Chains A and B, each alone.
Chain A
């Protein structure tokens, strides 16, 4: 399968802290890749390198290569803003814009960039909310504040907002960790549908979740990539002892 995003000997340093060490990994097109590992193992750091969110942290330094459709994302000629339009992100805590209503939140990516044609807005809002299965729940109150929604609804709204700008890759940083089991289930079903159009990389603490939603799984420990491969294989016949210990709950 085609590698949409490839990491080649990637390192991330925060000052003297070597957070991600020599990681090489391919993320295939239209698949879900889960990154698992104990807290502080560098999985979120790795994820945030892919859409250049570390650019704003002066102490962070990314080295090695991250290829997106074969082009190096950290090349001097690449504009990080353009990268983030192609590689969207969903965060741990739902973060809709509190000053905007539901409607405006969905098209926030266009509105904030002044790229909105009002004739298209209605259509984008409806189709994106349909895709995240939120349309029926909010269609009668699109003009109410987004913060009045429940946590799960807010997170689906954030996903709608992310897919509205038509990225090619969606990064998810523990998207369900602030949600209850039912809301989590809805997001997981959604991820399954989204992979038909997008390449998804999800960081999760929850191993059952990784097993349920992902096609491939990568296990990280202390900044290093310990093992990666098809999810089924990682969870049934891991090659490394550390991986086995982690997925069977013996540490981490």
Chain B
């Protein structure tokens, strides 16, 4: 009997330790959320979404150009990065074999592990220097370089889960391999692929470092892809380190908006990811 109470004791201790660990994980998340909500919500107004920053000394203003800039950067980064990532994954699962596939997979993992500021420097060297100026284009390229390995690996995982019998069914109908890959394999895995894409977008939406010397940031609206462009994370950064109280407030509002966007994207990805598996 003594043995039993000892077991109970061990059981409770272990359970308590696990609950504690869970709480430690959740605490920072809750703290960040609550704090950003508290600081950001009071500074958030309609102006935030419609106005561009006011000159120093004037109060008010917003980050409309930053929101717009982020949207532009993400759109162009997606246009560059998603096709490469998805098609690369198709190549990897459906066509490449053996050593080549291993090499591609390894390169993608290394690329994913490169600090994002280095990615920014690559885009700086490749685009900013030759074009003699910071530009939205360079920013989009830097972001797309971050997206490619994420999309590639998540898509690959999803495509691998499509049963081989479906590929065979299509091939046996006289459908070429490339059409089978696009119209049967990719379509069957579409939900998981979209989940991966959303996660990749969420990841780059918050990136600041690679934009520092590519997109640079802009106090005004930018009209061309060859001009510097504002981005929400960049604007938060420069406003937060500025010595003005109302700029700090705008930065908090920006942080709140950014967190809400990320949260929504992640939630959307989760929701899609939960849908059916193959029988």
Contact = CB atoms under 8 A, between A and B. Distances in A.
A41 to B, nearest CB: 21
A95 B166 contact: yes
Interface residues of A, number: 27
Contacts of B188: 97-99
B279 A81 contact: no
B174 A84 contact: yes
The 5 closest A-B pairs by CB, nearest first: A85-B174, A109-B173, A89-B172, A95-B165, A84-B174
A96 B187 CA distance: 14
Interface string A83-104: 0111011010101111100000
Nearest to B188: A99
B170 interface: yes
Given A97-B166, A147-B279, A53 B187 contact: no
B122 to A, nearest CB: 35
A112 B173 contact: yes
Interface stretch (A17-25, A158-166, A182-190, A242-250): A158-166
Interface string A176-195: 00000000000000000000
A121 B168 CA distance: 23
A82 B172 contact: no
27 contacts: A51-B172, A53-B172, A56-B177, A58-B97, A58-B98, A84-B172, A84-B173, A85-B173, A91-B165, A91-B168, A91-B169, A91-B172, A95-B165, A95-B168, A98-B166, A98-B279, A108-B170, A108-B173, A109-B174, A109-B175, A112-B173, A112-B179, A112-B184, A113-B176, A113-B179, A162-B173, A165-B174
B171 A161 contact: no
A112 B171 CA distance: 10
A161 to B, nearest CB: 7
Nearest to A171: B172
A82 B174 contact: yes
Interface in A145-168: 147, 158, 161-162, 165
Contacts of B175: 81, 109, 112-113
A161 B173 contact: yes
A147 B173 CA distance: 19
| Secondary structure class of chain B's binding surface, majority of residues | helix
A51 B173 CA distance: 10
Nearest to B279: A147
B174 A56 contact: no
A53 B171 contact: yes
B180 interface: yes
A56 B93 CA distance: 12
Nearest to B98: A58
Nearest to B190: A99
Interface in B163-220: 163, 165-166, 168-177, 179-180, 183-184, 187-188, 190
Interface in A62-88: 81-82, 84-86, 88
A165 B173 contact: yes
A17 B19 CA distance: 54
B171 A56 contact: yes
Contact of A98 (B170, B176, B278): B278
A162 B180 CA distance: 16
Contacts of B180: 112
A113 B172 CA distance: 12
